[in-house]
Amino acid sequence: MIPCINWLQPFLALISSTLLTRGHICPSSCLCPDHHTVNCTNRGLTRVPDPIPLGVRRLLLSNNWIPWIPSDFLVLYSDLVYLDLRNNSLSQLEPGTLSTSSRLVFLDLGSNNLTEISSGTFGESRSLIKLRLGNNPYLNMVGRDAFTGLTSLRELELERNGLTALDVMVLESLPSLRMLRLDGNPWLCNCHFAKLFVWLTENRHKLPKGKT
C-alpha cells in the first residue's frame, strides 16, 4: 500500500497545484480587480472564458456574443453570487444549467435571444433574489414550473419580450415576489389573459408605477 501511495503523491500534488493555480488565474481577455471578481464585459467573446478563478463571486459577461452556457458551467463555482450575462446571443438554457448555483443572488439574462424558459431551468436556486429576463424579443413561452423553488425571489423582470400569455401559476409559485415587470409584451386578450389581469389587479402594488 505504501509504494502505491508514494506513486500517487506526485499526481495528487499536480492536481492540487493545478486547482490552486486556477483559483488565482484571470482569463486573458478579462480583468480581475480582486480575487472574487472577473470582469469580461464588452470583450467580443463568443464563448465563456477559461479558466475562471474557482473562488469567483461576481462574474460579468455582458455585451459579448456568447451563444450558449455549458450545462455543467456552474458546478465548480459554488461561491458565485452575481452573474451578468445580459446582451449576449443566448438562445436557450438547458434545464438544470443554473440549478447548481445555490448561492446565486443576482442573475441578468436580459437582452438575449431566449425563446423559452422551461421548467427546471433554475432548479431550486433558493438564494436568488433578482432575476432579469427582459428584452428577449423572441421569448414567447414560460413554463408553469419555470420558477418553482425560487422561494427568495423578490424582483422578476419579463418586460419587452414576445409573451402573448402567461400562466398565473408561474407567479403564484413565488412567495417572496415584491416587484414584477411585464410591460411591453404583445398580450392576447383571451380567457388566459383575464386570469392574469385579475392577478395583476390584486397585486398591483408589485408593479412599478408607469410600467403596468
φ/ψ (deg, to 5) at 143: -60, 150
Q: Model's pTM, two decimal places?
A: 0.86
Residues in the chain predicted with pLDDT less than 70, given as ranges, are 1-24, 100-101, 210-212
- Residues 199, 77: Cα–Cα separation, whole Å: 37
Q: Residue 154: which of 206, 97, 119, 103 has the closest Cα?
A: 206
What pLDDT is attached to residue 24? Answer: 65
How does pLDDT run across 176-192, given as a tens digit for each residue?
A: 999 999 999 999 988 77
What pLDDT is attached to residue 187? Answer: 95
Which domains are delineated in the chain? 27-211 (3.80.10.10)
Q: Taking the CB of residue 175, how many other CB atoms lie within 10 A of it?
A: 9
What pLDDT is attached to residue 183? Answer: 96
What pLDDT is attached to residue 74? Answer: 82
What pLDDT is attached to residue 189? Answer: 87
What pLDDT is attached to residue 95? Answer: 75
